[in-house]
Structure formats: structure tokens, C-alpha cells
Amino acid sequence: MQTLLVRLKPYDPRRGFVLRRYTYRGIKFHEERGWYRVDKDVGEYLRSVRQVPGDEHAPLAFDVHTEAEAKALEADEAKATTRKKATEPVEASSAVTTGDLPDSAPKAATASRSKRRTRSK
């Protein structure tokens, strides 16, 4: 029989993930325990369970994946939460500085400032 891996989505009230435990067919799913291996029919049912029962607009309650998909998801999550080391190269952004602006723009701004200063004195 084929199996799937399921887990309750991590608790995050801002995103609507409010379930911490759920029971189905005698299996108690706890959010902090992570992945559970279940039969395919149980996994297919849990794929449709919502965070708020009866609310079709509420987010889904479970992550339901094959073993390979679950491993890939775990790797992506681990990569997102690890801190970068000091020796890793930093990706520089292509920000625009005042040196990149045309020559006329900074002079006009400077001239208007100097006029204001002379009037206020």
C-alpha cells in the first residue's frame, strides 16, 4: 500500500495557521511532532482539511507530500532559516546613487538651496 507524509502546518496566527493538533481515524496529529506517515486515503482526506472547519476560505491545515517532496520542502525550509557565514559572498544590489544621475539634476538642486539660504539670512 502506498503512503504519504503529512504534517500540520506550523502555528502562525498571522497567516491563519491556528491548529496545533488534529485527530482523524484515531491518529492524533501534533504540530510540534512534524511529519507522520499515513495511508494514501488518509493523506488524500487530510489534503482537503481547513484550519477552520466549515470555512472554505480558511487556509489548508496540512502539508501532504510524497517522501521526496517532503525532503525537498525540509531542505528549502532549512536553507531559509540558516544564517549566512561571514565568509560567504554578499550579493550586491544595483542601487542608483547620486553619481549615477545626470549632471544637471544635482546642480539645479544645489542652486535652489543656495537661493533659499541667501533669502533667509
| pTM for the whole structure | 0.60
CB 77 within 8 A of CB 16: no
Cα–Cα distance for residue pair 10/32, rounded to 1 Å:
8
User: How far is Cα 9 from Cα 78, in angstroms, rounded to an integer?
Assistant: 15
Over the stretch 58-70, which tens digit does the pLDDT of each residue have?
A: 999 999 999 999 9
Please state the rounded mean pLDDT for residues 64-84: 85
| pLDDT tens readout for residues 89-99 | 766 666 777 77
| C-beta of residue 61 within 8 angstroms of C-beta of residue 50 | yes
Mapped onto helix, strand or coil, the DSSP state of residue 63 is strand
